[in-house]
Structure 1
C-alpha cells in the first residue's frame, strides 16, 4: 500500500495541473513578440492636441511622456532615459502626426 502512495499522489498532482491548464484555455505556449515589433508607447488623448504616453512594456522606456501637437509644431516632454528610448518614442509620435 505504501509503495503505491507516492506514484498515486504524483499522478493526482499531474492530473490536477492538467485540469487547471485546460480550464485556463492553455494550449501550446506561444513566444512573446520580438522586441521592437510592437509600438513601445500607448497614447491617450488628454485634450485637443495633447497626448499622454505610457510604455506598453514591449521595450524598457523608463518614463511617461507628454506630446503637444498643433498645426505647425510638435512639443515632446521627457522622451525617455536613453537616446535609444528617445528614438523609439519619436518613431511612435509620428503615428500621431
Structure 2
C-alpha cells in the first residue's frame, strides 16, 4: 500500500477509505514505528475479516504478525516518546529529550 496509486498522495494525518475483504476501513498514513506504514481504523467486529484479508494478500511477501513489544522496540529506535512510559509531567520537555519540538 505504500506506493499504490493515490495512497502516495496522503500527507500528514490524512486517511483513505478502503475495502479490505468485505469490510470497510480507513487507512491512515501515520504510525508509531517510524517507518512508512499505515494504521487501519475500523469497527472491532471487522477485525478478523480484515486480518485474514491482509495475511492472505501478504502471503507472497512472507508477511508475519508481530506484537506490541516489536512495535515498541521500533518506536524506541526512532526516539518516539510514549506518554506515561517515557514522558511524565514531573520532567520538562528538555529533560524528556523533546527540545527539538520546543
The TM-score with structure 2 as length reference comes to 0.27
What TM-score, normalized to structure 1? 0.28
The structure with the largest alpha-carbon Rg is 1
